[in-house]
Amino acid sequence: MEKKKNNWFKGILMSVLYLTAFSISAQTLNVSGTVSDDTGAEVIGATVIVVGDPSKGTVTDIDGNYTLNNVPANASLQFSFVGMVNQVIPVNGRTTINVVLVTDTEMLDEVVVTALGISREKKTLGYSLQELKGDMLLETRENNLANALSGKVTGLQVIRSSNGPAGSSKLVLRGYSSLTGDNQPLIVVDGIPVENFTGSSNNDYWNPSTDMGNGLGDINPEDIESMSVLKGASAAALYGSRAGNGVILITTKSGTKREGLGITVSSSVGFEQILTSPEMQNTFGQGADGIFDNRSNYSWGPKITGQNVTKWDGSSSTLQAFNNVDNFFNTGVNLNNNISFQQQINNISIYTSLTRTDDKSMIPGSDLSRTNLMTRSLAKLGNSQKWTIDTKVQYIQAKANNRPLSGHNNSNSFRTMYLLPVSMDIRDFSNPLNEFGSMVWYGGGQQVNPYWSELYNLNSDSRDRFIFHGSLRYDITDWLRAEVKGGADMYTNSTETKLYGGSPLSNTGRYSMGKNTFIETNYSSMIVAQKDNLFGKIGGMATLGGNLMKQEASGISGSSGELEVPNLFSLNNGQNNPSVGESYSSKKINSVYGMLQLNYDGYLFLEGTFRNDWSSSLSPENRSFFYPSVNTSWVITDMLNKMGTSNLRWLSYGKVRASYAMVGNDLPPYQLYNTYSIGKDPLGNTTAGLGSTLYDSSVKSELIKSVELGADFRFFNNRLGFDFTWYKSNATRQLINLPMDPLSGFTSKKINAGNIQNKGIELMVNGTIIEPVNQGFGWDVQLNYSKNKNTIEELYEDVDIYALGGFDNLQILANVGGEYGEIWGTTFSRVEDESSPYYGRKILTADGLPTGNTEKKKIGSQVPDALLGITNTFNYRGFALSFLVDGRFGGQMFSTTNQAMQFAGTAAVTAPGGERTDMVLDGVVPTGDGGYVENTKSITAQQYWNTVTSITGNLGIGEVNIYDATNIRLRTLQLSYNLPSKILANTAFQRVRLGFSANNLWLISSHMNGVDPESTFATGTNAVGFENTAPPTARTYLFNVTLAF
């Protein structure tokens, strides 16, 4: 009887429990809480989803808070964040669930995007790769994305121009590896290579063409999710003949789950001012030999003491000095507005954005407007969601007006400004036309009034560009997938120039126009297999794929010459027949590539890759070339953990790596066979002629062999990390134009020869000085340091010197046994007899003036010894402050600006301390019988500077104006504040961020008399150790507001 009672009681109890459970399972709740890490700091952006129903999910806000509605009371929630252990927690009817996520020691190496767009754990890589998140690039608010990389990547040198808002920048990774190539890394956006044209098509010293910017500058930082920089040959080997200078992989945003609507609006306004300009004297006025002359081009006149003088226009005024650079330049204004939408709806992710940039430069008349429109969608299809479609369309329209004109010519307004007599006021010419419609100027030579150039010497261009791709992926199994992809980069550039009549440049005016198009298409397919513990503890990964690439470029241009009817801008209005130019080129590369990786127990990795390219630009016998690589990675801490022998609590992570690879540089099209070009002589007769270079169909692609060793160690729970790399590469089979005797009918011949070596180290240090607790104060530091030795090991037989660029008595050379880019110029004549008591002394004339040696010698090198960037970041309760100090150490630059200003008497060095006293130079004078005597003759400052800046050639004695290019600057400063979510709780806003940023803020140290070492004359060449009266460089201040709905 007692037993029956017990059974009856148990039955009632079970029924109650079942009914309770059923009631809970049928109930839905609103669950909220906070996600924090093991230090107590809130985790921003952690993912919270309902297990089994990923459509119900959210991410934590800036305070680590989340809310999920309509959650089944018996469901479980999964909490995840990169680098932390996922947690699955049953709801059990609760409405508040707070979670602490702990660091996952197995996932310390984050997932990064590698070659061919494959995402992999960083710990598996046996080579150096550095990743930057999109926010790091966006915070600087740079017009040109290339400039946002300054100081942020070890081994990367950003070589800037100062040519206005649409000016170019050149990227060089781990030194120069080619004598004739552009030495820039390949740019790949979402798996599709894009053209990174840079600088001017003509870099002539006298009349260079305008700087057309660089292709990377078209990419909108607002759209970037991440950027991976593949530095070494092993990292880039899967790109074969296009990877000789490294690869930069850009991944754009594809849409993630957002609270609210997923709409973000960002707006910024910026102001641009002169950072630095050449140092000028302000104590001596217009004239020569101390005498005032209102028609003179020089500032060798009398000392300015407030005396009355007659100006160029006949009026009387007090002699005084003017700062014409400051008076001429404006305060530039930059406006940038962006609206974007991103959201994940079930299995479809979408991102779309529209950005408009309007930059009115501080350079009068120069401006840039750019529109970026991008849409990308990613969708998983099918019942099992094994199909993935990824599509993107990106459109860029950029328009530039009045790109700065540079070079040693009368159209260069900046040269005019630097050389204008300091006692003249440029503002006197702000009304640039006289009553006859001609240019107003003081008549001192053939210079052009800068105000006239702003209005009547015009150039404009527009670029319409599309970048798009589409891919289809099928996950065959959980370890095997296949993918096909296609994409293209295409653009059209349209240019127009209008030169009005009535100036020294032209009596009636000139007109020209042009259009060029470029398109590159890529079609690829790939199979990827990956499985751990395939044979015991041995796992592996393999890929096999192919690619078809085609490039086509064409152009047409026309020029009227001198106009018949003044200022009627038409090609048919020329006094003579218009000149017409056209161009066309086409190139294809077909490729097969693959990769095989083996790993043992997740801590020891061995990988090999191969790529074979077939290029249409090489002869059939040589167009196939094979590029292999091998690399290994050993994660020491993972091994110790798996063996259960790790007692080194102070060591959070340890990895060593090594790699060897071969990559290349291809030949441009149409450089195999000697063909004739067709033209017309002045009488209209048809002509045909050969080019100046003798081609050889047996040439091959350049070959680069590289070895790399590295280590990555992190200490004290990841608060301190070191990533060290040593590398050495040798670029052989250089494709060079070897000079020939002009009597042969050619000036050079194309050959394979040479060996360029780069050897260096890279060090990246990350440190958390103060770790934040509960959103308290935090301080992080990152240091990027690199040192590279770029040398010429050999050229060709008895050829020891190869010219990279230069002008007249200054050249930039590749010299066997020396560095890439040595600067060679003339020097002072000195006593060379070592037995003479005057050995090494300067030789002067009988009048006490210096003499020069016309034989060129090495006076410097354009290659820096080291690069350094240090970023400090501070955080406190929604506030963030960061600043980057970067520096270039070593190397030299020749300054034409200093040379020209010294000759004109405007340079500060011509009047030290505001005075010009006669001087007796330290030197000796030849006696005529082989002997020397001490100099006793005094000379004036004008005599000295006129001599050293003009003898031995157009650029004077080279060693006088070679300067140390070392410079340190406060590159960026950012301050931002995110409003707390509790303030926004009852508003339409999900996020409100206020920001301030400043770029190129402070030139802390430099040695070029106010000329910025970053104002390189021509980024489109490999001779970058030279500047030529470029515009002053600028600093910018920007204010930004970001609103998320």
**For tokens 């600043």, what's the residue?**
883
Q: What percent of the chain has pLDDT over 90?
A: 71
Q: Is residue 863 within 8 Å of 790, Cβ to Cβ?
A: yes
**The residue type at 734:** Q
Instruction: Phi first, then psi: give them for residue 12, nearest 5 degrees.
Output: -60, -45
Q: How far is CA 976 from the centre of its chain?
A: 25
- 26 against 477, higher pLDDT: 477
Instruction: Please say whether the dihedral angle defined by the alpha carbons of residues 808, 810, 813 and 817, taken in this order, is positive or negative.
Output: positive
**The residue type at 627:** Y
Which residues neighbour 963 within 8 Å (Cβ) at sequence distance 6 or greater?
892, 893, 894, 895, 898, 1007, 1008, 1009, 1011, 1013
Which tens digit of pLDDT belongs to each residue from 767-776? 999 988 777 8
Q: How far is CA 239 from the centre of its chain?
A: 20
Distance between CA atoms of 873 and 768, rounded to whole angstroms?
Answer: 10
Distance between CA atoms of 128 and 558, rounded to whole angstroms?
Answer: 48
What is the pLDDT averaged over residues 823-845?
96
**Paired tokens of 57:** 């999910």
Name the residue among 261, 100, 115, 247 with its Cα closest to residue 173.
247
Angle between helix 896-904 and 941-948 (nearest 10): 140
**The residue type at 386:** K
Q: Which CATH homologous superfamily contains domain 2-103?
A: Carboxypeptidase-like, regulatory domain (2.60.40.1120)
**Would you state the torsion angle of the CA atoms of residues 918, 922, 927, 933, taken in this order, to the nearest 10 degrees?**
110
Distance between CA atoms of 1026 and 896, rounded to whole angstroms?
Answer: 8
Name the residue among 22, 25, 14 with its Cα closest to residue 91.
25
Count CB-CB contacts under 10 A for residue 919: 13
**For tokens 């957002």, what's the residue?**
258
pLDDT band of residue 83 (cuts 50, 70, 90) is low
Residue 18: enclosing H or E segment and its boundaries? helix 2-26
- What pLDDT is recorded for position 47? 84
Instruction: Please say whether the dihedral angle defined by the alpha carbons of residues 145, 150, 155 and 158, taken in this order, is positive or negative.
Output: positive
Q: How far is CA 190 from CA 248, 668, 981, in A?
A: 11, 25, 34
- 225 against 642, higher pLDDT: 225
pLDDT band of residue 104 (cuts 50, 70, 90) is low
Count CB-CB contacts under 10 A for residue 74: 16
Q: Sheet containing 820-828: which strands, arranged edge to edge?
A: 801-807, 810-815, 820-828, 852-861
- Listed by start position, the domains of the chain span 2-103, 129-275+331-411+448-819+863-891+966-1044
Q: Is residue 880 within 8 Å of 857, Cβ to Cβ?
A: no
Distance between CA atoms of 265 and 1041, rounded to whole angstroms?
Answer: 8
What is the pLDDT averaged over residues 6-15?
44
Distance between CA atoms of 87 and 47, rounded to whole angstroms?
Answer: 11
In the DSSP assignment, the letter for residue 312 is: T
Does 610 have pLDDT greater than 90? Answer: yes
Does 683 have pLDDT greater than 90? Answer: no
Instruction: Phi first, then psi: give them for residue 18, nearest 5 degrees.
Output: -65, -45
Q: How far is CA 1001 from CA 814, 886, 1030, 1035, in A?
A: 35, 12, 19, 5
- What pLDDT is recorded for position 11? 47
pLDDT band of residue 13 (cuts 50, 70, 90) is very low
Q: Is residue 1003 within 8 Å of 276, Cβ to Cβ?
A: yes
**Would you state the torsion angle of the CA atoms of residues 948, 949, 950, 956, taken in this order, to the nearest 10 degrees?**
90
Q: Is residue 48 within 8 Å of 33, Cβ to Cβ?
A: no
**The residue type at 447:** Q
Which tens digit of pLDDT belongs to each residue from 523-536? 999 999 998 888 88
**Paired tokens of 983:** 């303030």
Does 691 have pLDDT greater than 90? Answer: no
**For tokens 């083996």, what's the residue?**
598
Distance between CA atoms of 723 and 766, rounded to whole angstroms?
Answer: 9
Distance between CA atoms of 92 and 95, rounded to whole angstroms?
Answer: 9
CA-based R_g, the chain, Å = 33
Which tens digit of pLDDT belongs to each residue from 992-1042? 999 999 999 999 999 999 999 999 998 989 999 999 998 999 999 999 999
Q: DSSP letters along 830-887, please?
A: B---TTSTTTTPBBB-TTS-B-EEEEEEEEEESS-SEEEEEEEEEEETTEEEEEEEEE
Residue 209: enclosing H or E segment and its boundaries? none
- What pLDDT is recorded for position 12? 43
3 state SS of 701: coil
**The residue type at 634:** W
Which tens digit of pLDDT belongs to each residue from 465-520? 999 999 999 999 989 999 999 999 999 999 999 999 999 999 999 999 999 999 99
Does 311 have pLDDT greater than 90? Answer: yes
**Paired tokens of 194:** 């894009």
Distance between CA atoms of 778 and 873, rounded to whole angstroms?
Answer: 8
3 state SS of 782: strand
Q: Is residue 661 within 8 Å of 232, Cβ to Cβ?
A: yes
Which tens digit of pLDDT belongs to each residue from 38-48? 666 678 778 89
Does 386 have pLDDT greater than 80? Answer: yes
- What pLDDT is recorded for position 124? 86
Residue 123: enclosing H or E segment and its boundaries? none
**Paired tokens of 749:** 């011949």
Average pLDDT, the chain: 91
Distance between CA atoms of 166 and 404, rounded to whole angstroms?
Answer: 9
- Report the alpha-carbon angle 857-860-865, nearest 5: 150
**Would you state the torsion angle of the CA atoms of residues 629, 634, 638, 641, taken in this order, to the nearest 10 degrees?**
150
Which tens digit of pLDDT belongs to each residue from 540-553? 999 999 999 999 99
**Paired tokens of 126:** 């046996």
**Paired tokens of 762:** 């890279």
Instruction: Phi first, then psi: give them for residue 415, nearest 5 degrees.
Output: -65, -45
Q: What percent of the chain has pLDDT over 70?
A: 96
Q: How far is CA 908 from CA 282, 913, 967, in A?
A: 8, 9, 20
Distance between CA atoms of 822 and 800, rounded to whole angstroms?
Answer: 13
- Among 420-434, 626-640, 673-687, 946-960, whose mean pLDDT is lowest? 673-687
Q: DSSP letters along 375-442, please?
A: EEEEEEESTT--EEEEEEEEEEEEEEESPPP-SSSTT-HHHHHHHS-TTS-GGGGSS-B-TTSPBP--
**Paired tokens of 683:** 């009488």
What is the pLDDT averaged over residues 975-1004?
92
DSSP E strands, 111-262: 111-113, 119-121, 129-133, 156-160, 169-173, 186-189, 192-194, 224-230, 247-252
Q: How far is CA 966 from CA 865, 883, 1033, in A?
A: 9, 20, 16
Which residues neighbour 315 within 8 Å (Cβ) at sequence distance 6 or greater?
none
**For tokens 């608010």, what's the residue?**
141
- What pLDDT is recorded for position 39? 62
Does 106 have pLDDT greater than 80? Answer: no
**Paired tokens of 402:** 């009045």
**Do the domains spanning 2-103 and 129-275+331-411+448-819+863-891+966-1044 agree at the CATH topology level?**
no
Distance between CA atoms of 258 and 277, rounded to whole angstroms?
Answer: 47
Say which CATH architecture domain 129-275+331-411+448-819+863-891+966-1044 belongs to: Beta Barrel (2.40)
**The residue type at 206:** W
